[in-house]
Every structure is written in structure tokens, then in C-alpha cells.
């Protein structure tokens, strides 16, 4: 059995090291650089991280408007809105409900009123203080959590960005589900 410390084994080890280093350098020159780094477009970056320094003046998504198409300003909305009562806004393909927190402030997420049982459009019923599905009677609370089945999952969410006195709706799940 040959000893690792023998000159023959050390030379063989050095040959392998040199060949591996040369091969790595050659691959670095042959492969395009874009394969290793992926540039994220500004819309994606600012949708996921709206307070990133590169997104200072960028407004992601679409502007939230009322049922008549007028832009909604956060300052005027918060003077009239009551915490715990979702506020409907337009802008995305389907209406979205803004969640008003206790401060009062607009939550970083909005509720998409699509029943998770069969996809029917749910509506906010003020008397019951719930979203109610007209198809099979599922009910959800003001944050979109299931109160009564047959639905088993909470209502889907969208990202809401409040910036430059605008409400922006981003058709993407928020980074985490705050419910």
C-alpha cells in the first residue's frame, strides 16, 4: 500500500488540482454570465419589497379606484373607514377589499372575494359582519378567514402598497399571510 506522503501521490494530487482549476476557469469563460446571475425586473422587485431603496419613487401594481373609477386617496379613505369593516376597491380584474386596521391604517394586504370552495364571488354582508358565498353558504370573517364551511381555506390575498398618497394593488400574494 502506497503512502499518501510519497512523492508519486503528491504529484498525482497536484495534477488533479491543476486540471480542476484549469477546467473551472475554462467553464467560467465559456458559459455566459447571465446564466449565473438573474436580474429581477423593477416591477417584481418593488412588488415583493415596496420599501426597497431602488423602489423609492416606483409605484408597483395598479392604482385603487372606487366604483366610479375615481382614484382613492388613503388620507380621505381613513377619515371615513371603520376598523374591521372591509372597503371595496376596483383596479384589478376582480374587486378587492381593503382591510382597515385599528390605528386606523390600511393593511399591507387586501382580500380577493373568491370563495375557496368553488370559486363563487363572495360579498360583504354588513348585518352579519361576514363575507358570504351565495353558492353554498360559506362564510368568512373581516380578514377572510373561514367561519363556516363548506370552504376549508381562507380567502386569497393580494398585496396592497400605500405610497405617495396612493393605494396600489399588486396582483400577487403578500410575502406572508398575516392572518
**Least confidently predicted of 7-11, 130-134, 140-144, 171-175:** 7-11
What's the pLDDT tens digit per position in 56-65? 778 778 899 9
Identify the pLDDT of residue 4.
Answer: 56
Identify the pLDDT of residue 54.
Answer: 79
Which residue stretches of the chain are H helix? 7-30, 42-48, 74-80
Residue 7 has pLDDT above 70, yes or no: no
Greatest Cα pair distance, the chain, in angstroms, is 88
What's the pLDDT tens digit per position in 110-121? 999 999 988 899
Cβ-count burial of 103 within 10 angstroms (0-12 exposed, 13-18 middle, 19+ buried)? Answer: exposed
Give the pTM.
Answer: 0.68
Contacts of 54 (CB under 8 A, 6+ apart): 42, 45, 46
Identify the pLDDT of residue 155.
Answer: 93
What's the pLDDT tens digit per position in 154-170? 999 998 988 888 898 98
Q: What percent of the chain has pLDDT over 90?
A: 29
Contact 123, 88 (CB under 8 A): no
What's the pLDDT tens digit per position in 77-107? 888 888 888 999 998 888 899 999 888 889 9
Place of cell 368553488: 118
Model confidence at 52, in pLDDT bands (50, 70, 90)? confident
Model confidence at 174, in pLDDT bands (50, 70, 90)? confident
Q: Which of 49, 71, 67 is nearest to 58 (CA)?
A: 49
For 51-83, b where at least 16 C-beta lie within 10 A, e where not — what string?
eeeebeebebbeebeeeeeeebebeebbeebee
Could you tell me whether strands 166-170 and 157-163 are parallel, antiparallel, or unpaired per DSSP bridges?
antiparallel
**Could you tell me which residue, 100 or 34, shows the higher pLDDT?**
100
Identify the pLDDT of residue 11.
Answer: 84
Amino acid at each position: 500500500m502506497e503512502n499518501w506522503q510519497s512523492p508519486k501521490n503528491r504529484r498525482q494530487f497536484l495534477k488533479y488540482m491543476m486540471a480542476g482549476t484549469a477546467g473551472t476557469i475554462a467553464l467560467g469563460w465559456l458559459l455566459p454570465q447571465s446564466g449565473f446571475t438573474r436580474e429581477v425586473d423593477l416591477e417584481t422587485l418593488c412588488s415583493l419589497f415596496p420599501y426597497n431603496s431602488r423602489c423609492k419613487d416606483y409605484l408597483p401594481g395598479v392604482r385603487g379606484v372606487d366604483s366610479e373609477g375615481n382614484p382613492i386617496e388613503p388620507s380621505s379613505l381613513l377619515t371615513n373607514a371603520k376598523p374591521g369593516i372591509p372597503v371595496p376597491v376596483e383596479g384589478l380584474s376582480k374587486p378587492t377589499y381593503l382591510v382597515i386596521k385599528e390605528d386606523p391604517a390600511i393593511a399591507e394586504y387586501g382580500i380577493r372575494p373568491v370563495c375557496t370552495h368553488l370559486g363563487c364571488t363572495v360579498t360583504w354582508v354588513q348585518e352579519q359582519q361576514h363575507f358570504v358565498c351565495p353558492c353554498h353558504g360559506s362564510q368568512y370573517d373581516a380578514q377572510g378567514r373561514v367561519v363556516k364551511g363548506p370552504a376549508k381555506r381562507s380567502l386569497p390575498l393580494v398585496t396592497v402598497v400605500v405610497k405617495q398618497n396612493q393605494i396600489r394593488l399588486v396582483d400577487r400574494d403578500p410575502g406572508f399571510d398575516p392572518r
